[in-house]
Structure 1
Amino acid sequence: MSDPLLDPASRQIVVRPDWLAQLQEPILEPGLPIVDPHHHLWERAHGDYLLADLLADAGSGHDVRGTVFVQCGEMYRASGPDAERSLGETEFVTGVAAVSASGRHGRTRACAGIIGMVDLTLGDRVTPLLERHAATAGGRFCGVRNRTAWHASPEITTNLVSPAPGPLQHPAFADGARRLAAFGLPLDVWAYHTQLAHVAALARAVPELTVVIDHVGGPLGIGPFTGKQADVFPDWKQQIQALAALPNTVVKLGGLTMYVSGFDFHKRPKPPGSEELAATWRPYIETCIEAFGPARCMFESNFPVDKGMCSYPVLWNALKRLALGAGPDEKTALFSGTAMRVYKLDRLPPALAIDLG
C-alpha cells in the first residue's frame, strides 16, 4: 500500500510545518555548541530548503555555530562535460556560504564546509576535478560523496544515477578514493546496511582514506525489511562493529527518521517528542558510540530529509538526551569536535572560521 505522505518523485516524507508546529519543547542544554555536519539545500517540487530555511531551523533554540553541506545533486550545470557539471553545486553552495559568512544573518556559519560530488571512478581525472572544486569553494571544500546507496529491491529508495549496483563495487572506485586521500579529503558514504561489507572492503583497500559512514550505516526497514527491524538489527550491529575495527572509519549519528528506516512517526496525528525519539534511536546510537568511541562519532541532522518526521529543535533535544551520560570532552566530540577535526573546519581561515568560544 502506498504512503500518501511519501513524495513519489523524491521518495522522501513530505515536510508539513503545521504538523511539526503542534509540538514545542524547551531546549535542552541551550548553551552547548553544535556543528551540524550533514544537511542539504535545494529547490525541488516537493519543497524548497534554502538558506533562510536552514537558518530558521538552526536558529530555533539550539546553539548551532556552523554547518556542513552534503552533496545532493543540486544546481548542476546545464551543459558541459558530465564530470564537470557537479561544479555547479559547489558554486551554488559557495554563494550561500558567502551570504552566511557576511554575518548579516546571525552567528551560524552555514555551509562552512562543503562536501561535493566528484565521480571517483574517473581515475586520473579525479585529481584535477578535486582541484577545481577546492578552488571554487574558496577554502570550504572538505570532502566528497558519490551516489552509492543501492538495493536490488525496487521498493527501496535509491539515489543512483550510475548503473546498479553502483560505484562502490566499480573496479576503479578505490583508485579514485586513493586520489581523494592524497588530496587530504575524507569520503562520505551513504550505503544501506546490506552494503556495509563493501564499505569495509574499501576502507581496508585504502587505509590512508578517512571513510565517513552516513546515517549510522543505513539499517533498512522498508521493502523486504518492512516490520523486520528486530531481525535487521543483529546483522547491522555486526557490520558496524566490523567497520569500527578499522581505524580510518568515522560514523554520523542520525538519519533514522528517513523513509528507508521504516519508522512511521509521520503517520501520527502529532509529531514525536524527543523522549520517544531518543528511546527509539538509542540501540543504534549507543551501538555506534560503543563501537567507534565519541572521537569517531558525530551527531547530524540530515535536514530537510529527516524533517518529514520531526522538527529541528526536537531532533537535537533527542540527541542531547542520548548524550546525557557523556563527559564534557565526549560531549564536545559528539556535537562539534569530531566534525571540526574530520572536515578540517578547525583550519579554516579567520574570515570563514566557526566560532566555538
Structure 2
Amino acid sequence: MIVDAHHHLWDLSVRDQDWITDPPMGAIRRSFLEPDFIAAAPDVSASVLVQTVCVPEETPEFLAVAASSDVVAAVVGWTDLTSPAVGDALDALVDGAHGSWLRGIRHQVQSEPDPEWLCRKDVWNGLAAVGARGLVYELLTVPVQLPAARRTVAALPQVEFVVDHCSKPAIGSDLGEWAELIRSLAAHDNVTCKLSGLVTEADWKSWSVADLRPYFEVVLDAFGPERVMFGSDWPVCLLAASYTEWLGAAQELVSELSAGEQAEIFSGTARRVYGI
C-alpha cells in the first residue's frame, strides 16, 4: 500500500495562492480539495498533507482535514520560525484542535533571497523548538541553499529534517555540485529525502524517466531506500504529469530494487518519519 509523503490541497474561495497567478501555472489555478486527491490517487492508503502558503490560518484548516479524512494521515504545517514566540505558537498547534495530526513544519526557504537564511540564529532557535516538540522540519530548498542546509542539519542533530523534492535540481544540467551537496547532506543521519518534484524541474512537455534517473540514482546512493520516500507533489505535478504518470515513473525508477527496498520508498520510510 502506497503512502504519498507529499501532496497539497487548496481552496481558492478561502484563500488565494499567489504563487500560481502567472500564466504558466494556469493548469493548477483552481481549487484542489480532498475528494479530488482521493480520486486522483486511488492506490494511496495514507498521505502527508503539506503546507502551501506562509500564513498561520492554513495549518489548523489542514489539521481539521486530517481529522476527518480516511487518507490524510499527517500534516506538515507552518509557523514563523523567526518569531520569539515560536514555542508558544507550536504548543498552540500541538495542543489545539486536532493537534495530534501535526507531524512537521515547513517554510518556503526557496523564496528567501538570502541563501544563508537557514543559518540565522533566530531560525536555528525556531528549528530547535520544532525538534523539541517531536516534529520534523522539511527543507524546501534550491541547490544554492544546500550549503546552509548542510550546516544547519549538522548544528542541530536533535532535529529530524526532510529534504523536499531532492532540493530541486535542474534536470538536464550537470550533476556535479548538486550531487556533492546532496551526498554531504545525506551523511547526517537526521536527514531523509523525498522522491518528489522532479518532473516539474524537467521539461514539462518532453521529460522522460531517463532524464530523471541520474538524479534519482544520486539520491538513492546517498540516502539508501530506508531514508527515501515517495511523494507526488500533487497537484503541482500536474504542470508536467498526471498523478498516474508520475507514480508510474517513480515505480520505473525503483524497478530494479528488491521488493523490500521498494516497500521502504513507497511506504516504510514515510510511516517511520511521520508516525503513520
Q: Do Structure 1 and Structure 2 share a fold, with TM-score over 0.5?
A: yes
Distance 1:166 1:303 in 2: 29
Q: Is 1:64 the counterpart of 2:44 in the alignment?
A: yes
Q: Any idea what SS the aligned residue of 1:120 has? A: coil
Identify unmatched segments of 5+ residues in structure 1.
1-32, 77-85, 102-108, 150-157, 222-228, 346-357
Contact in 1 for aligned 2:140/2:165 (Cα 8 Å): yes
Distance 1:290 1:217 in 2: 16
Contact in 1 for aligned 2:136/2:161 (Cα 8 Å): yes
- Aligned pairs for 1:9-158 (under 5 A) are 33-44=1-12, 46-59=29-42, 63-73=43-53, 76=55, 86=56, 88-101=57-70, 109-110=71-72, 112-123=73-84, 125-134=85-94, 135-149=96-110, 158=111
Contact in 1 for aligned 2:67/2:101 (Cα 8 Å): no
Distance 2:273 2:191 in 1: 10
Higher Rg of the two aligned structures: 1
- Identify the structure with the greater helix proportion: 2
- Aligned pairs for 1:242-281 (under 5 A) are 242-258=184-200, 261=201, 263-266=202-205, 276=208, 278-281=209-212
Contact in 1 for aligned 2:82/2:126 (Cα 8 Å): yes
Superposed displacement of residue 320, structure 1 = 0.7
Distance 1:127 1:344 in 2: 22
Superposed displacement of residue 332, structure 1 = 1.3
Counterpart in the other structure of 1:331: 262
Moved more, 114-123 or 38-47: 38-47
Letter in 2 for 1:140: W
Letter in 2 for 1:344: G
Distance 2:170 2:97 in 1: 36
Q: Any idea what SS the aligned residue of 1:290 has? A: helix
Distance 1:136 1:297 in 2: 31
Superposed displacement of residue 180, structure 1 = 1.3
Q: Is 1:184 the counterpart of 2:134 in the alignment?
A: yes
Contact in 1 for aligned 2:141/2:168 (Cα 8 Å): yes
Superposed displacement of residue 166, structure 1 = 7.2
Distance 1:305 1:166 in 2: 26
Letter in 2 for 1:242: S
Identify unmatched segments of 5+ residues in structure 2.
13-20, 22-28
Superposed displacement of residue 326, structure 1 = 1.5
Distance 1:136 1:90 in 2: 11
- Aligned pairs for 1:307-346 (under 5 A) are 307-345=238-276
Residue in structure 1 matching 2:124, options 166, 174, 177? 174
Contact in 2 for aligned 1:148/1:166 (Cα 8 Å): no
Counterpart in the other structure of 2:24: none
Judged with a 3 Å threshold, the aligned counterparts in structure 2 of structure 1 residues 171 and 220 are, in CA distance, closer, same or farther, namely farther
Q: Any idea what SS the aligned residue of 1:340 has? A: helix
Q: Any idea what SS the aligned residue of 1:265 has? A: coil
Matched pairs, number: 260
Counterpart in the other structure of 1:237: 179
Distance 1:335 1:284 in 2: 18
Deviation readout 1:214-234 (Å, 9 max, x if unpaired): 10112136xxxxxxx333x11
Contact in 1 for aligned 2:116/2:148 (Cα 8 Å): no
Distance 1:99 1:180 in 2: 25
Q: Any idea what SS the aligned residue of 1:264 has? A: coil
Deviation readout 1:7-57 (Å, 9 max, x if unpaired): xxxxxxxxxxxxxxxxxxxxxxxxxx1110111111247221111211111
Letter in 2 for 1:182: A
Superposed displacement of residue 327, structure 1 = 1.6
Superposed displacement of residue 164, structure 1 = 4.2
Contact in 2 for aligned 1:68/1:115 (Cα 8 Å): yes
Deviation readout 1:164-205 (Å, 9 max, x if unpaired): 457413221111111111111110011001110100000011
Distance 2:179 2:76 in 1: 27
Distance 1:146 1:293 in 2: 26
